[in-house]
Amino acid sequence: MQTNRRAWVRRVVALALGAAAATALTQTQQRLLPAQSEITFTSRQMGVPVTGRFRDFDADIAFDPRRPEAAQIRIDIDLASVTLASSEVEAELATPGWFDSRRTPRARFASSAVKPLGGGRFEITGRLTIKNVTREIVVPVTLAASGTSTAASGRFVIKRLDFRIGDGDWGDTSLVADEVQVRFRLLLAGVAVP
């Protein structure tokens, strides 16, 4: 009886270790392919759309579309990597009134819930932090096969003044609109399409 119990305990431990190793392997294989990914934003300055992009960003992803409730997604964006129409505008965005990228160099999105909508579509709720201000946002995401990788794409709107972006003299929304459209297409390795 004692021998059977020890054998049973060994099997349970071996199964648990095997499951943990498989989970760790899956998570290490899931990664962002930054060179083939993009994050852009469009705001309106005196009614004219102005589009910029971020060159440097990274992500930590643990996502199984069969178990979306267990997903953990974190995306970090280097605010100093912004590119726009001119170097003067980029320099202005680094100032305290805008991104304040010297004191707050990164923006971060961290997921808190993932809701499947069917057809490779998901609704990801999470916290977006910019300039040490955190707001909960909901991001619609569509997963689609792209060669041997998976593309996660979507768009959402933030209000820049909620994050103190362009406050002070630039708080006048007739000069720069409060709403900013954010678009992304992230190419991911190791993430299955449902």
As a whole number of Å, the end-to-end CA separation of the chain is 45
If you average pLDDT over every residue of the chain, what do you get?
87
Asked whether 178 and 166 are in contact (CB, 8 A), the reply is no
pLDDT top residue among 26 and 181: 181
Distance (Å, whole) CA 164 – CA 107: 13
The Cα 154–Cα 139 span in angstroms is 7
Q: Could you tell me the pTM of the whole model?
A: 0.82
Mean pLDDT of 22-33: 62
What does CATH list as the number for 31-189?
Answer: 2.40.128.110
Predicted local distance difference test score (pLDDT) of residue 1: 55
Sign of CA pseudo-dihedral 67, 68, 72, 78: positive
- What whole-number distance in Å separates Cα of residue 123 and Cα of residue 192? 17
Q: What is the pLDDT of residues 87-146, one digit of tens each?
A: 898 999 999 999 999 999 999 999 999 999 999 999 999 999 999 999 999 999 999 998
Total Cβ atoms within 10 A of residue 77: 22
Confidence at 5, pLDDT banded by 50, 70, 90? low
